[in-house]
Structure 1
């Protein structure tokens, strides 16, 4: 029988990757260049408000092209963090994408998977891909097994809708452990910390050169745990702690006759700071509601700025600003963390800048970081082991660029060696290794 045509897909909250068998004569799996030479692609879709439909549906751009279309001001709708929709009641709903068009959220996810599949098929000379391993977080939904199962079933349905016939799933941090395993020459117990855009996942795995060829690795998976807190939550916290303050978030309204003042309504700013809810803030009903609440603001400039953001649809601009500030202050860059950052809000109000410090960001993220660090310790406890049993901490996922987050996790494991994997590619590479074992 001919070997099935298979791949592995890391469908991430922020970035995605596809692994294919290495070219003939080579071993292992290789990540596919998805955009130019880039082996990962932002998980983003931009729906153009104008243009004819084609065989794949409404006119769209994907990945970096989608982000560029938004930044360049094309009329349409940017969709990001689609993975966060899995397991929610939004999946079967339709959303306005501009130009009088709408799209079902499930079709947005399927369309992105189809793009990944098509690029990979082109890369291997047009041969159709029929089998795939898909990565999944330890928990799509915290504390709700039914919705968690629903989320995986939804992702499977989207993958089958674009032509995959046989599917297998693997936990993303376990896939990262497989990638780490390919780099070592002695048996170890490794705690994998996979902290991306949507979830922080931990797996305690026994790895080693004698174990690599085994297909069934269930006995080597000592424990796994996770929380639905990660990069997009950090962006939201930073957004609320800095740019949204210019729009009145957390401010007090006019003083009342009894000498007290109420906090201005915060529902709109909370939604504006949440990626998958930003576009819900632009409806006529919400605009009318905000216009009617001018009297709730002691500072009229805050209300005017909020209206400007809604009328000019600058919510995604602020989200991008928050992410950039987080990266600058968190230590992602080559020159390490900055001590201060000024958010440029000139598109809202000429000359407006909002200062923010690393200390303020650390404070804003304190509760999220504490929950993530606690989840790492709980993963080891659930396995019935102590921190001393952990030989190495393997960090992967874009959010592991936050140095104070990595330090907080590592503090409970002082004897373990810290290893930084490829932040965006380790999971995809590990899923590829698993796909070869399953389908190869």
Structure 2
């Protein structure tokens, strides 16, 4: 049996074909979507758990070496793993939020794929993270479908990391391929996520159209200009229908991070001054919430930075705010801060004001964020998204008849308004914001495997 597999930045989902139509499978309770999160007792626990409880072997000698090192470090820390110690999805998030200091937590491993400067040990670790998530999802999908799943069409963004990075894209796709193979998939194909979303929209067309697919996901925004309709359906070679592509690593996570930076981090001292009159260094407020940046997270949470933060508090005009930043360091609160920003973004999709509350040390911080404040805060990533629309239109000699907007962040009215300003008089339609890519991947699976 084959599935379409959307290994997303924010959520993962899979779909099978059922009587000619895609059907999403439950992956966590009754939910068809599982958050792209994982937590474990320690960083090293992932490799050992994958081997010991998920029966997944290392890929090569580098993987074997990493596994031996992980097991030795766990023994040194007196960690004896039990079944269930590594958790996924909402369960992982709930465990992390209940006590951030007691677990190793990762949100959106896909955000790190294709990053430059990763050494061999990091590549092995990211592959283990992805593999363990894929193995869990495959097991849940087989439980839901009551069938063995051996084939998958996996979605991928136009660019995983930055613009036009061929080497980065090759590295990221290689990690996905090896992880999926180790997780038990025997036949694997890749398809661009916006193309997959377009295939799902195409199934509704009774006449040919030139369609601009704008897929605003958690980690990337991808645009594809595609000829679609009855003349193209069921063709295994769609290369002539693809008129243009653009993509960049900017998505819903970036909206959350920018909103957190501009609106929440002032409560932690951002924008305040030292006694000398000099403003606090920006990086100390950006790095803790840059959850999709390996280097930023490492720089903030390394031991040496604690001394720097203590010194900043000593020199601060508003030391009580810097005390909160110290608490963010000590309790690893970066993910929680961004989570509060994400909740505000979702709340402001259909309201003019959102009130948030966040416990920090012995305080309960309260803040009201208005819609216009959010729009102002996220201006930079939104402009990057609109630049991708301009880029893909410039690649083709035709303009779109319609815009198909999808992806979780596409629900935000201000993004739709920005797109309307960018391409006036072109109608915008939407399908299932979260499920269009997954459904389209399953349809492509029918074409290549069926």
TM-score, length basis structure 2: 0.86
Instruction: After superposing the two structures, state which structure 1 stretch, 430-439 or 36-45, moved more.
Output: 36-45
Partner of residue 73, structure 2:
none
Change in Cα spacing, 1:362 to 1:349, as seen in structure 2 (3 Å) is farther
Instruction: After superposing the two structures, state which structure 1 stretch, 264-273 or 67-76, moved more.
Output: 67-76
Q: How does 1:120-269 map to 2 (within 5 A)?
A: 120-127=141-148, 129-141=149-161, 142-255=163-276, 261-269=277-285
In angstroms, what is the RMSD of aligned CA positions? 2.3
SS of aligned partner of 2:170: helix
> CA offset at residue 291 of structure 1?
1.9
Mapped to 2, the partners of 1:37 and 1:307 lie a distance apart of 39
Is 1:65 paired with 2:54?
no
Mapped to 1, the partners of 2:255 and 2:213 lie a distance apart of 20
Of 403, 406, 409, the residue aligned with 1:399 is 409
Is 1:275 paired with 2:304?
no
SS of aligned partner of 1:345: strand
Partner of residue 258, structure 1:
none
Question: Does the 8 Å contact 2:39/2:87 carry over to 1?
Answer: yes
Instruction: After superposing the two structures, state which structure 1 stretch, 314-323 or 192-201, moved more.
Output: 314-323
Q: How does 1:9-158 map to 2 (within 5 A)?
A: 9-22=5-18, 26-48=19-41, 53=49, 54-56=52-54, 59-73=85-99, 75-88=102-115, 89-90=117-118, 92-93=120-121, 104-127=125-148, 129-141=149-161, 142-158=163-179
Mapped to 2, the partners of 1:249 and 1:207 lie a distance apart of 48
Mapped to 2, the partners of 1:301 and 1:69 lie a distance apart of 29
SS of aligned partner of 1:313: coil
Structure number having the greater helix percentage: 2
> CA offset at residue 66 of structure 1?
1.2
Question: Does the 8 Å contact 1:393/1:410 carry over to 2?
Answer: no
> CA offset at residue 351 of structure 1?
4.2
Is 1:383 paired with 2:396?
yes
Q: How does 1:425-436 map to 2 (within 5 A)?
A: 425-436=435-446
Aligned length, in residue pairs: 411
Mapped to 1, the partners of 2:261 and 2:290 lie a distance apart of 10
TM-score, length basis structure 1: 0.87
Of 297, 306, 326, the residue aligned with 1:287 is 306
Mapped to 2, the partners of 1:43 and 1:351 lie a distance apart of 28
Mapped to 2, the partners of 1:323 and 1:362 lie a distance apart of 13
Question: Does the 8 Å contact 1:92/1:106 carry over to 2?
Answer: no
Question: Does the 8 Å contact 2:15/2:439 carry over to 1?
Answer: yes
Change in Cα spacing, 1:418 to 1:43, as seen in structure 2 (3 Å) is same
Mapped to 2, the partners of 1:222 and 1:275 lie a distance apart of 34
Partner of residue 98, structure 1:
none
Write out per-residue CA displacement over residues 248-298 of structure 1, whole angstroms, 9 at most, x where no aligned residue.
Answer: 12222113xxxxx22212323212111245864444333233223323422
Question: Does the 8 Å contact 1:372/1:409 carry over to 2?
Answer: no
Write out per-residue CA displacement over residues 131-164 of structure 1, whole angstroms, 9 at most, x where no aligned residue.
Answer: 2111000111223222122211221121122222
> CA offset at residue 244 of structure 1?
1.0
Mapped to 2, the partners of 1:90 and 1:251 lie a distance apart of 35
Question: Does the 8 Å contact 2:25/2:145 carry over to 1?
Answer: no
Write out per-residue CA displacement over residues 187-246 of structure 1, whole angstroms, 9 at most, x where no aligned residue.
Answer: 111111100111110011111123212121111111111221111111110111122111
Change in Cα spacing, 1:220 to 1:91, as seen in structure 2 (3 Å) is farther
SS of aligned partner of 2:363: coil
